Amino acid sequence: MTKQSVAVIGAGKLGEVVLSGLLRAGWPAERLLVTTRRAERAAELAERYGIRTVPNPAAVAEADVLLIAVKPQDAGKLLDEWGAEVPPGKLVVSLCAGLPTSFFAERLPGGIPIVRVMTNTPARVDEAMTAISAGPYATDEHLAVVEEVFRPIGRTVRVPEYQQDAVTALSGSGPAYFYLLVEAMIDAGVLLGLPRPVAHELIVQTAIGSAVMLRDSGEHPVQLREAVTSPAGTTISAIRELENHGVRAAMLDALAAARDRAAEIAAQMTAPKS
């Protein structure tokens, strides 16, 4: 394992998920730092994880890898505070949806390597999907350091940065789509007369079983679906309704909307102030 120390700058929902994953993976607590905006949040994290919470400038001075996990809308203000002071030798990693690495490069001294990452909340159970892109000054070695941080909490893939908005729409936001579908199917179970806890158990285990088959069977989703869909059977009756309601088209439009929103956030953050 690298001797690098890591600071999670802005440990909210995602930052905490990454922090807890690093600790589970055996990253020594003394090589982890956390910053927060609110003092009570810092106290909560220090108590829960036994890590040190420090102000942003102290984290920037001390840690080798700076994981920026604030909302994209807060990133400009954050970098205005200390961006220009980042000393040589640091690696800046952005977890912010939408923001291109050029946004950071414009606010950091020249030569600071920047890596853009899109991960997701299943990192909580070491099943994240993390996509990593090299930005300015980032070498293969920097990407390897970032992989070392994220590999213990799931799978990693390298993608060119121009694909990151699409990645955000697919795997960054993806867990929310699955949860919405599960929620809707549980409600359908209740509509069909099942007690809610029973409907919940049936659908959650079905989701888990289906996900494991998707990952491990080596079969395409179409093959897996066809194997469930008997001629003149029950499944095809449901699928006809899903197609009638445009679920497939809705999925295409929904993910395009998420991709467009990522681009819109970047445009808002990079627009010249009037």
Ligand X SMILES: O=C(O)[C@@H]1CCC=N1
Q: Which residues bind ligand NDP (CB under 6 A)?
A: 10, 12-15, 35-38, 41, 56, 69-72, 74, 78, 95-97, 118-121, 172
**CA–CA distance from 175 to each of 10, 122, 127, 258 (Å)?**
22, 8, 11, 13
Note whether 236 and 230 are within 8 A (CB). yes
Q: Using CA atoms, how far apart are residues 82 and 91, in angstroms rounded to an integer?
A: 14
Residues whose CB is less than 8 angstroms from the CB of residue 98 and which lie 6 or more positions away in sequence, other chains included: 72, 165, 168, 261, 262, 263, 264, 265, 266, 269
Which residues in this chain contact ligand X in the complex, by CB under 6 A? 97, 168, 172-173
**Residue of minimal Cβ distance to ligand X:** 172
3-state secondary structure of 76: helix
CB of 33 to ligand NDP, least distance (A): 12
Q: Closer CB to ligand NDP, residue 55 or residue 221?
A: 55
The number of beta carbons lying within 10 Å of the beta carbon of residue 135 is 22
Q: Closer CB to ligand NDP, residue 74 or residue 126?
A: 74
Q: Closer CB to ligand NDP, residue 77 or residue 273?
A: 77
CB of 243 to ligand NDP, least distance (A): 30
Q: Closer CB to ligand NDP, residue 69 or residue 199?
A: 69
Q: Using CA atoms, how far apart are residues 88 and 270, in angstroms rounded to an integer?
A: 25
Q: Closer CB to ligand NDP, residue 152 or residue 165?
A: 165
**Residue of minimal Cβ distance to ligand NDP:** 12
Residues whose CB is less than 8 angstroms from the CB of residue 84 and which lie 6 or more positions away in sequence, other chains included: 107, 108, 109
CB of 96 to ligand X, least distance (A): 8
Report which of 255, 266, 260, 248 is spatially closest to residue 170, judged by C-alpha positions. 255
CB of 152 to ligand X, least distance (A): 21
Q: Closer CB to ligand X, residue 51 or residue 93?
A: 93
CB of 71 to ligand X, least distance (A): 8
Q: Which does 154 bind (CB under 5 to 8 A by kind): ligand X, ligand NDP, none?
A: none
CB of 127 to ligand X, least distance (A): 15
Q: Which does 48 bind (CB under 5 to 8 A by kind): ligand NDP, ligand X, none?
A: none
